[in-house]
Amino acid sequence: MQKHLPTNGIGCLNSLRHLWIFNCNNLEYLFEDIGHLRVLQSLAITKCPRLISLPRGVRNLSSLERLVLISCKRLNLDLSIGSNKQDNHDELNSTWPHLQFLRVEELPQLVEFPQWLIQCFTNTLETLEIKNCSNLKALPESMQKLQVLRVVNCPELSSLPKDMDRLIALRELIIRGCPKLSERCEQETGEDWSKIAHISRITLDEKIIKSTEN
């Protein structure tokens, strides 16, 4: 029946490198001192249907490289809700994570990626996996090191990032269950084809439409 993880608990494990929180059906909030986990490399939160938000301290996880969020139906990733001047000051002075891998799945509250999260991966993200986000309407931009993009069952998603054609590191694109997006990405005829023609391997709705072997 625990709704909160206590402060001065997990947050005191200064050498913790991997944290997985799963099947906590009543959990609404994580521990506020999560930012003390300065060597944490991976964080996974799955099947926590009542989790409302992440603590603002996630912005201070300077060693975090992998973030996985799955089946958290109430989770709102907007950390600005209820923020104050002190929070804004702390944000300006924080050392942000440099995410290399991000997976989000079954997050119906996600409409667009919040700015704080984009700032965590703008120049470092290599793999982005998005699945079953029924209300997602936009993908983030400026993912210059992105190599793999997988988007599955996001029916409201209707376009790619404006700078997609400049993501020269991108080598694999998988789109499935996104009818609006798939139509725009059809080979030669799709409105966004020119943005993705440089990608080595492209799969649309289980069909490989481009595969270039190096």
- Segment 89-142, tens digit of pLDDT: 455 445 789 999 999 999 999 999 999 999 999 899 999 999 999 999 999 998
Is pLDDT of 149 > 90?
yes
Worst-scoring range by mean pLDDT, 28-32, 62-66, 151-155, 203-207? 28-32
For 12, the token pair is 């005191």
Over 70: is that where the pLDDT of 145 sits? Answer: yes
- pLDDT value at residue 8: 64
Confidence bin at 84 (pLDDT 50/70/90)? very low
pLDDT surpassing 60 at residue 45: yes
Three-state DSSP at 45 gives strand
Strands 127-131 and 148-152: parallel
Between 213 and 152, whose confidence is greater? Answer: 152
CB 194 within 8 A of CB 166: no
Rg of the chain taking only CA atoms, in angstroms: 18
Whole-model pTM: value is 0.90
Q: Residue 15: which pLDDT band, with cuts at 50, 70 and 90?
A: confident
SS3 165: helix
Q: Percentage of residues in the chain with pLDDT exceeding 70? A: 88
pLDDT of residue 2: 62
Q: How far, in Å, CA of 201 to CA of 16, rounded? A: 37
Percent of the chain with pLDDT over 90: 73
Instruction: List the one residue out of 47, 53, 51 whose CA is nearest residue 23.
Output: 47
pLDDT band with cut points at 50, 70 and 90 for residue 85? very low
Instruction: Give the model's pLDDT for residue 36.
Output: 87
Q: What is the average pLDDT score of the chain?
A: 89
SS3 (DSSP) at 69? strand
Residue 31 pLDDT: 82
**Per-residue confidence (pLDDT) for residue 33, from 0 to 100:** 85
Give the mean model confidence (pLDDT) for residues 57-62. Answer: 92
Within 10 A of 4 (CB to CB), how many other CB atoms are there? 12
The pLDDT value given to residue 158: 92
Q: Averaged over 202-208, what is the pLDDT?
A: 95
